[in-house]
């Protein structure tokens, strides 16, 4: 069959949720198209401890960024090409977004997206072992608190206390502006990631005649009859022929913050000038498509360890630290991840020493002000898009990150880490002044891999609003977007659980509009 009520393009974090929830109604037919393979028989995908092996692997679309005027031109954006999308690749750090972020979304003219609207979606999707009546106890996604087994991590939290950063509960419902703790992760007790596919698709696969999951199905473009989206053109498994998959009701685009704007632009929806430049006929002039690319840039401070580091871990990045770099903020503007492993992906090329036995603190700018773009390289769907995050083009981001490098050193200098922190390998103690630190950051920074906002929702009259508050693509009928690209601005914390909540919301909206 190639005709369905709904066609979901991208079986990733949000797309898996949309397809699973829509197909709960046996009267509705759904086709989920995923370019990558199934994750079901892939141990390196399912075992959360192995997530770093997937970087630049065959499961990664692996987008090298465009040359950066102020940032790292060698940075590669990992984007998973496998069922479950980036939730099948990521480190499964699980956060509810701060209420302040969501309330700001709603205040931007987006009814239905306040904390009061979205928190119930978090509750619905999770089975959380954390304390509190606000948590869900029966949802598909297992979220659990990392056990405090890593002695370096225990020492780090003591060092944070000594540096004035208290141990504070995460996901308590209250925003942590200044505090540290073991993360919560979406993973099962046996170490299997509780990705969108594991949580939503595996339990129902083969049990719903009304749901067809097609892996290895790469969408080339969307199909339109006038301004009505009628389906998707897909590359056949022989990589030569085309197939048309028809949607009687709606198409939902869930290909992620890089491939969703790419597919919109290939289909004629995007900034008219750019589309003409690459020879795509313009269906809708929508300047916000591929604009407003937002991310969490990440720096690195790495130490040689004085004792052997752990050899077992849930996912090697088990602790988070939040703080503010100026007074009066209601959300943290600086976050750190603690890694019990070396992470020299971006430092070796500049000659910084590395180690097999070390640990890291990676400061990231949680409310980055630099904005980038995703643009078509050519009108051929095979060509990787131009991803230009324009990192550190706003001075704010460099100031916050510089503060982060210094604070990481302050934490490592506390007595609690005396028995762990050896030589600082990167940037190294002779990198001292703000200018030297800034130069190091610009050259070697990474990303927390959180690109978003490239097809963002916005109020009527907002020229960059690709979508309305019901996730409908403005200017056409029968087409919605559900993935990280819809965010009006990137949430302050790790966004995967929020992206799943966007999938839940989209399914609700489609059900409501079906009547």
Ligand X SMILES: Cc1cc2nc3c(=O)[nH]c(=O)nc-3n(C[C@H](O)[C@H](O)[C@H](O)COP(=O)(O)OP(=O)(O)OC[C@H]3O[C@@H](n4cnc5c(N)ncnc54)[C@H](O)[C@@H]3O)c2cc1C
Q: What amino acid positions are annotated as catalytic residues?
A: 450
Figure out which of the listed residues 18, 22, 30, 80 binds ligand X, where binding follows CB under 6 A: 80
Q: Give the distance, in angstroms, between the CA of residue 151 and the centroid of all CA atoms in the same chain.
A: 29
Residue 429 φ/ψ region, left for φ over 0, alpha for ψ in the -120 to 50 degree band, beta for the rest: alpha
510 binds ligand X (CB under 6 A): no
Coil/strand/helix, residue 298? strand
How many Å apart are CA 505 and CA 500, to the nearest integer?
9
Please choose, out of 42-50, 88-96, 406-414, 417-425, the segment that lies near ligand X by the rule CB under 6 A: 88-96
Give the shortest CB-265-to-ligand X separation in angstroms: 12
145 binds ligand X (CB under 6 A): no
CB atoms within 10 A of CB 237: 13
Strand residue runs (E) in 131-255? 141-145, 179-182, 184-185, 211-215, 218-225, 228-235, 242-253
Please choose, out of 83-91, 245-253, 366-374, 393-401, the segment that lies near ligand X by the rule CB under 6 A: 83-91
8: nearest Cα among 27, 28, 26: 28
Dihedral sign (CA 76, 82, 87, 90): negative
Figure out which of the listed residues 4, 5, 8, 12 binds ligand X, where binding follows CB under 6 A: 12
Give the shortest CB-375-to-ligand X separation in angstroms: 16
The smaller minimum CB distance to ligand X, of residues 38 and 152, is found at: 38
75 binds ligand X (CB under 6 A): no
HSE-CB for 167 with a 13 A CA cutoff: 14
445 binds ligand X (CB under 6 A): no
Binding characters for ligand X, 253-282, by CB under 6 A (x = yes): -xxxx-x---x-------------------
490 binds ligand X (CB under 6 A): no
Give the shortest CB-11-to-ligand X separation in angstroms: 5
450 binds ligand X (CB under 6 A): yes
425 binds ligand X (CB under 6 A): no
Coil/strand/helix, residue 464? coil
494 binds ligand X (CB under 6 A): yes
Give the shortest CB-146-to-ligand X separation in angstroms: 12
Count of residues engaged in binding ligand X, rule: CB under 6 A = 40
Task: Quote the DSSP letter at residue 80.
Answer: B
Residue sitting closest to ligand X (CB): 12
Coil/strand/helix, residue 60? strand
Give the shortest CB-39-to-ligand X separation in angstroms: 9
Task: Quote the DSSP letter at residue 101.
Answer: H
The tokens of 69 are what?
Answer: 């005027």
Angstrom CA distances, 180 to 100, 154, 442, stand at 19, 11, 26
The smaller minimum CB distance to ligand X, of residues 367 and 409, is found at: 367
- In the region spanning residues 213 to 232, those forming contacts with ligand X, defined by CB under 6 A, are 218-219
Which DSSP string do the residues of 235-282 spell out, in sequence order?
E-TTSSSEEEEEEEEEEEE-SHHHHHHHHHHHTTEE-HHHHHHHTPPP
478 binds ligand X (CB under 6 A): no
376 binds ligand X (CB under 6 A): no
108: nearest Cα among 371, 459, 454: 459
Figure out which of the listed residues 28, 45, 75, 86 binds ligand X, where binding follows CB under 6 A: 86
14: nearest Cα among 515, 503, 505: 503
183: nearest Cα among 196, 194, 170: 170
How many Å apart are CA 84 and CA 46, to the nearest integer?
10
21 binds ligand X (CB under 6 A): no
Coil/strand/helix, residue 403? helix
Please choose, out of 20-28, 87-95, 139-147, 413-421, the segment that lies near ligand X by the rule CB under 6 A: 87-95
Give the shortest CB-420-to-ligand X separation in angstroms: 24
Contact 22, 507 (CB under 8 A): yes
135 binds ligand X (CB under 6 A): no
483 binds ligand X (CB under 6 A): yes
258: nearest Cα among 119, 447, 474: 447
Binding characters for ligand X, 33-72, by CB under 6 A (x = yes): xxxx------------------------------------
389 binds ligand X (CB under 6 A): no
92 binds ligand X (CB under 6 A): yes
496 binds ligand X (CB under 6 A): yes
Coil/strand/helix, residue 173? coil
- Give strand pairing partners of 452: 294
Figure out which of the listed residues 5, 6, 13, 293 binds ligand X, where binding follows CB under 6 A: 13
Figure out which of the listed residues 7, 8, 9, 365 binds ligand X, where binding follows CB under 6 A: 9
How many Å apart are CA 128 and CA 199, to the nearest integer?
13
89 binds ligand X (CB under 6 A): yes
How many Å apart are CA 472 and CA 476, to the nearest integer?
8
487 binds ligand X (CB under 6 A): no
469 binds ligand X (CB under 6 A): no
Give the shortest CB-42-to-ligand X separation in angstroms: 13
The smaller minimum CB distance to ligand X, of residues 229 and 263, is found at: 263
- Residues in touch with ligand X (CB under 6 A): 9-15, 33-36, 78-81, 85-87, 89-93, 218-219, 254-257, 259, 263, 449-450, 483-484, 494-497, 499
């Amino acid at each position: 069959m190639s005709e369905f009520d709904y066609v979901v393009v991208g079986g990733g974090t949000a797309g898996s949720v949309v397809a699973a929830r829509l197909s709960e109604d046996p009267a509705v037919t759904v086709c989920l198209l995923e370019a990558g393979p199934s994750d079901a028989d892939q141990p390196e995908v399912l075992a959360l401890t192995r997530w770093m092996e997937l970087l630049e692997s065959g499961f990664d679309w692996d987008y090298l960024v465009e040359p950066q005027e102020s940032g790292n031109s060698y940075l590669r954006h990992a984007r998973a090409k496998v069922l479950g999308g980036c939730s099948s690749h990521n480190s499964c750090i699980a956060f509810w977004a701060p209420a302040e972020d969501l309330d700001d979304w709603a205040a931007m003219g987006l009814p239905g997206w306040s904390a009061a609207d979205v928190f119930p979606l978090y509750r619905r999707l999770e089975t959380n072992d954390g304390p509190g009546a606000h948590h869900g106890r029966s949802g598909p996604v297992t979220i659990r608190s990392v056990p405090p087994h890593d002695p370096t991590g225990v020492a780090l939290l003591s060092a944070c206390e000594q540096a004035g950063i208290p141990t504070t509960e995460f996901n308590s419902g209250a925003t942590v502006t200044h505090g540290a703790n073991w993360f919560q992760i979406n993973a099962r007790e046996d170490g299997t990631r509780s990705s969108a596919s594991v949580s939503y698709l595996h339990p129902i696969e083969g049990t719903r005649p009304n749901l067809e999951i097609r892996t290895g199905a790469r969408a080339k473009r969307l199909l339109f009859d006038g301004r009505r989206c009628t389906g998707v053109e897909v590359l056949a498994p022989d990589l030569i022929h085309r197939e048309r998959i028809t949607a009687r009701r709606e198409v939902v685009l869930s290909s992620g913050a890089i491939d969703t704007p790419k597919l919109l632009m290939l289909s004629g929806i995007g900034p008219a000038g750019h589309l003409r430049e690459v020879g795509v006929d313009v269906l809708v002039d929508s300047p916000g498509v591929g604009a407003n690319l937002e991310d969490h840039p990440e720096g690195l401070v790495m130490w040689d360890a004085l004792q052997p580091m752990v050899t077992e871990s849930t996912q090697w990045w088990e602790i988070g630290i939040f703080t503010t770099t100026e007074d009066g903020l209601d959300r943290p503007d600086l976050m750190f991840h603690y890694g019990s492993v070396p992470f020299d992906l971006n430092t070796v090329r500049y000659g910084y020493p590395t180690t097999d036995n070390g640990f890291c603190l990676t400061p990231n700018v949680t409310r980055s002000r630099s904005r980038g773009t995703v643009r078509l390289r050519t009108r051929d769907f095979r060509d990787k898009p131009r991803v230009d995050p324009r990192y550190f083009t706003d001075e704010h981001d460099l100031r916050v990150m510089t503060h982060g490098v210094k604070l990481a050193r302050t934490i490592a200098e506390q007595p609690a880490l005396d028995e762990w922190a050896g030589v600082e390998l990167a940037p190294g103690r002779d990198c001292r002044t703000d200018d030297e630190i800034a130069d190091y950051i610009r050259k070697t920074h990474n990303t927390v891999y959180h690109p978003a906002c490239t097809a963002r929702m916005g109020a009527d009259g907002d020229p960059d609003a690709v979508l309305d508050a019901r996730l409908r693509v403005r200017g056409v009928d029968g087409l919605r977007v559900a993935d990280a690209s819809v965010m009006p601005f990137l949430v302050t914390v790790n966004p995967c659980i929020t992206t799943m909540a966007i999938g839940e919301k989209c399914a609700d909206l489609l059900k409501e509009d079906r009547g």
